[in-house]
Amino acid sequence: MNISSLSSLSSHLSASTEASEPKPPLGEDQKAVIQAVKAVNASGILGEENELTFIIDRMANTAVVRSVNKKTGAVVQQIPSEQVLRMADKSSGGN
């Protein structure tokens, strides 16, 4: 899964879904998370090297917030963790 900044979030989500699959509208909770991510990034609290990103994990159908190194693209921290996302996917009948 690619990591993208909030400025290119919509293009990333569009590219990761098939053209025939409509994107579900963002819920109020997801909109609130996006606003919080934008506020944290604008504050500079994570320093110059890191930023928060918000994505939807399609397999687990869950919102994911990541702290990402801007230069390398490496994930510094992710909430929920990748392991939790895969457990959620398996419990809902995914592979």
Nearest to 4 by CA among 37, 46, 44, 42: 37
pTM: 0.62
Tokens matching residue 49: 């090297």
Does 55 or 19 have the greater pLDDT score?
55
Per-residue pLDDT tens digits for 32-52: 888 999 999 999 999 999 999
Q: What pLDDT sits at residue 27?
A: 82
Per-residue pLDDT tens digits for 12-26: 443 444 445 666 677
Domains and CATH numbers, the chain: 6-91 (3.30.160)
Sign of the CA dihedral with 8 first, then 19, 65, and 71 last: negative
Q: What is the mean pLDDT of the chain?
A: 78
pLDDT of 4 higher than 60? no
